[in-house]
Structure 1
Amino acid sequence: MLLAIDAGNTNVVFALVEVSGQAREIRARWRIATDPRRTADEYAVWLSQLLALEGFARDDVSAVVISTVVPRALHNLQVLASKYFGGDALIAGRAPLEWGVSIDVDEPASLGADRAVNTIAAHALHAGDLIVIDFGTATTVDFSDYKGAYKGGIIAPGINLSLDALVAAAAKLPRIAIEAPAVNSVIGRNTVDQMNIGIYWGYLAMIEGLVARMKAEVGRPVKVIATGGLATLFERHTAVFDAIEPDLTIQGLAIMWQGAHIG
């Protein structure tokens, strides 16, 4: 099986993917807080225990593929692959896992690996012009055309980052959970309700507004794909998403690995 690793700014996601021909099935997934200082040995102890809890062993992993937006975390993940899983990891964006799609922006090298991988996965799963919204540490809104070429996008503070900044800057505001308000009113009657309204409905309004502006600029029908841990939080209260793909980056890594080994 394939061990796909997506190292983001907040969490590192590990997923065990069973690959057969063109088929992919995610058998298990785990996440751990991103810490560039975490050693390969520490990863191995943690991951070995979780594999065992799911009924797997290290020997079940035959290949490792990595995508990262945290360069300092890469080395220890590579050591993890070579020391504990018996082979060199393949890195998204490097031979033999080049993007294989056009990155049609002013500075292609600055594009985050996760956004390129998401573009590849989205076009493998959906046809036409696509907008991919990834709710992570930052929220990214990316447009790729019907040929699969990445054309550009938007970077906004993630919802958790926005809430952290608000609480840190305002001494009397409490830390709250991010959740859909119990009622649809946007006239809050107490501090917690007012914060919840501002964070939740304000963030959703931002997403809807950005997507509307992007669609108007594209001028053609566009399908909107949402991914990231918080995508489902907004699903019940907006019609802006055409599909939710919670494991888009992991799917993209598996697709790229398949392409290198089948193509």
Structure 2
Amino acid sequence: MLLAIDAGNTNIVFALVKDGEIRARWRIATDPRRTADEYVVWLRQLLDLDGYGVDDVSDVIIGTVVPRALHNLQVLAEKYFRVTPLVAGQGAAEWPIAFDVDEPYNVGADRALNAIAAHAKHKGDLIVIDFGTATTFDVVDFTGAYKGGIIAPGINLSLDALVQAAAKLPRVAISAPEDNSVVGRTTERQMLIGVYWGYVAMIEGLVQRLKSEIGRPVTVIATGGLAVLFDKHTDAFDAIEPDLTIQGLDILASRIDR
């Protein structure tokens, strides 16, 4: 089985994939200082709970936007799974898509992987919205080429900045409002309206601007943990693909004869 590792700025997701199907997934907070020994103690227990073991892993692929986390993840693969891991975007796992942007070397691995998976699953021109630490909008044309996009602060990042900068504002949990009213009668309600409906307005506005600039029919795909939360109150999305980055890792690994 393939162990796909998606190392993001906030969390690292480990997923077991076989025949294109995700059999199990686990996540841990990203900490570049975490050693291979620490990873394996945690991961072995979770593998066992789901009925798997270290010997069930035959290949490892790593996609990361946190360069400092890469080394210890490579050591994990080599020391405990006894395989040389693929690294998305490097060596044998070089990107199979074109980057039609001014700085292709600066495109994050997660965005490239999302583009690969989205193009494999959907036809035509695409907008991929990933709700992560940052909220990213990526444009992928009908040939699968990455054309560029938008980076905005993630909703939790925006809320954290608001709370830290304003001494009297409380911390509130992100959730879908109970109704569509945008007149808040308490401080907490006003904050939730500002963050949630503000994000919905941003999503709808940017999607419309991107569609106008692309000038052809476009499929809008949402991914990331908060995609479902926003889907309740907007019709901006045509599809929800919660595991797009892991699917991109699986597709990339499947192209390589090992």
TM-score, normalised with respect to structure 1: 0.97
1:13 maps to 2:9 = no
Comparing 135-144 and 94-103, the one that deviates more: 94-103
In 2, distance between residues paired with 1:177 and 1:101? 38
Residue 106 of structure 2 corresponds to residue 110 of structure 1? yes
Name the structure 1 match of 2:195: 199
| Residue identity opposite 1:132 in structure 2 | V
Q: Distance in 2 between matches of 1:244 and 1:95?
A: 31
* Cα distance in 2 for residues equivalent to 1:155 and 1:99: 21
Mapping 1:1-80, distance limit 5 Å: 1-19=1-19, 24-80=20-76
How far is the alpha carbon of 1:95 from its aligned partner?
A: 1.9
CA distance in 2, matches of 1:148, 1:18: 24
Which one-letter code corresponds to 1:194 in the other structure?
Q
**Aligned residue number for residue 247 of structure 2:** 251
Determine whether 1:81 maps to 2:82: no
Matches of 2:164 and 2:34, distance apart in 1 = 27
TM-score, structure 2 normalization:
0.99
CA–CA distance in structure 2, aligned partners of residues 150 and 101 of structure 1:
7
TM alignment of 1:167-246, pairs within 5 A: 167-246=163-242
Root-mean-square deviation (CA), in Å?
0.8
2:148 aligned partner: 152
How far apart, in 2, do the equivalents of 1:191 and 1:202 lie?
16
3-state SS of 1:105 partner: coil
CA distance in 2, matches of 1:247, 1:150: 19
Structure 2, gaps ≥5 residues long:
none
Q: Distance in 2 between matches of 1:259 and 1:123?
A: 15
> Separation in 1 of the partners of 2:184 and 2:136?
29
| Number of positions where the alignment pairs a residue of Structure 1 with one of Structure 2 | 258
Q: State the shift of 1:80 in Å.
A: 0.1
Deviations 1:5-59 (A, max 9, x none): 000000000001012xxxx110100000000000000000000000000010010
Letter in structure 2 aligned against 1:6: D
Deviant stretches of 4+, over 3 Å: none
